[in-house]
């Protein structure tokens, strides 16, 4: 007899989107990672692993306030990526785990850090390099190195990670050159892809809403700068 009546668990699995899994899927295990920054690997039933970065956990930092932005910025960059339709940031959700509020981000298991590849750009597709450059330009990434993006060597897909205080607010004068933007320049690709125009057009009004909801003035200013850059891209259709 065919399996006409699937298990209840399977029905639940089928009815949840990937994002819903992240937001409220059953947590099977939690493991604190060894290291300075507090990060946990959480295993979500039916959805694999995710990285949880708790907010409000004080840890020895030279300016602990920076730690407080970790989850907020990570989540906002995910939202911006979603509005744009670039799909460069792993699924991210706000969630309370082990009595701690924070953000949980899907662990990317099928890609490797760019720094681990011999010439990462040979493995990444040109369209992904261009999309990543658009995202980094918009968010004003100041610390994009081979240590904080991943490349799937089979599909050429890029994943951007690590959107925290250092990435967004580090002193402009001392910021590092964005290695993805540098590669885009070398390849001579700067035209905003047509398929991003719709998302880009939706961004300014979405940002207005995010600005009105943001509590911290630095985040409000950062979002306002993203809006300005979005308008520049809409007008010129090119990354400056």
Partner 1 sequence: MTLVYLVELYELNSKAKQEKIATFVMREDFPGNVSIEGNHDHPVVVAIKGEGVFDYKYAKPNKLFPWDGMVFLENLKYHFRSGYLLATDIQKKTIDI
Give residues in contact with partner 1 (CB under 8 A). 33-37, 39, 41, 43, 49, 51, 53, 60, 62, 107, 109-110, 113, 115-118, 143, 145-148, 150, 161-162, 164, 166, 170-171, 173-174, 176
Which residue, 170 or 237, has its beta carbon nearer to partner 1?
170
The least CB distance from residue 22 to partner 1, in Å, is: 14
Give the DSSP per-residue string, 113-161: EGGGSTTGGGTS-HHHHHHHHHHHHHHT-S---TTSEEE-TTT--EEE-
Is residue 116 classed exposed, middle or buried when 0-12, 13-18 and 19+ CB atoms within 10 A define those classes?
A: exposed
Which residue, 15 or 118, has its beta carbon nearer to partner 1?
118
The least CB distance from residue 178 to partner 1, in Å, is: 13
The neighbouring-strand residues paired with 52 are: 40, 104
Query: How many residues belong to the chain?
Result: 240
Which residue, 82 or 107, has its beta carbon nearer to partner 1?
107
Is residue 69 classed exposed, middle or buried when 0-12, 13-18 and 19+ CB atoms within 10 A define those classes?
A: buried
**Cα(107)–Cα(119) distance, integer angstroms:** 23
Which residue, 83 or 150, has its beta carbon nearer to partner 1?
150
The least CB distance from residue 198 to partner 1, in Å, is: 31
Which residue, 162 or 225, has its beta carbon nearer to partner 1?
162
Q: Quick one: CA dihedral 192, 193, 194, 197, positive or negative?
A: negative
Task: Compute the C-alpha angle 166/170/174, nearest 5°.
Answer: 125
Please name which of 215, 200, 120 lies closest in space to residue 158, comparing C-alpha atoms. 120
How many other CB atoms are there within 10 angstroms of residue 100's CB atom? 16
The least CB distance from residue 147 to partner 1, in Å, is: 6
DSSP code of residue 238: B
The least CB distance from residue 200 to partner 1, in Å, is: 27
Which residue, 176 or 201, has its beta carbon nearer to partner 1?
176
The least CB distance from residue 186 to partner 1, in Å, is: 17
Which residue, 161 or 181, has its beta carbon nearer to partner 1?
161
The least CB distance from residue 16 to partner 1, in Å, is: 20
């Amino acid at each position: 007899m065919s399996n006409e009546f699937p298990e209840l668990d399977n029905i639940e699995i089928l009815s949840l989107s990937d994002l819903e899994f992240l937001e409220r899927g059953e947590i099977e295990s939690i493991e604190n990672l060894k290291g300075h920054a507090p990060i946990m690997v959480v295993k979500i039933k039916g959805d694999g692993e995710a990285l949880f970065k708790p907010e409000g956990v004080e840890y020895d930092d030279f300016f602990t306030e920076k730690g407080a932005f970790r989850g907020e910025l990570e989540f906002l960059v995910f939202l911006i990526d979603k509005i744009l339709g670039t799909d460069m940031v792993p699924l991210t959700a706000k969630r309370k785990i082990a009595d701690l509020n924070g953000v949980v981000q899907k662990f990317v298991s099928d890609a490797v850090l760019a720094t681990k590849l011999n010439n990462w750009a040979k493995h990444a597709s040109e369209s992904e390099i261009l999309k990543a450059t658009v995202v980094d330009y918009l968010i004003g990434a100041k610390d994009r190195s081979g240590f904080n993006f991943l490349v799937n060597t089979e599909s050429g897909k890029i994943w951007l990670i690590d959107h925290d205080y250092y990435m967004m607010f580090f002193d402009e004068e001392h910021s590092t050159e964005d290695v993805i933007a540098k590669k885009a320049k070398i390849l001579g690709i700067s035209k905003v892809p047509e398929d991003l125009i719709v998302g880009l057009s939706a961004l300014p009004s979405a940002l207005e809403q995010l600005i009105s909801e943001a509590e911290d003035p630095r985040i409000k200013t950062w979002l306002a700068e993203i809006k300005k850059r979005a308008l520049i891209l809409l007008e010129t259709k090119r990354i400056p």
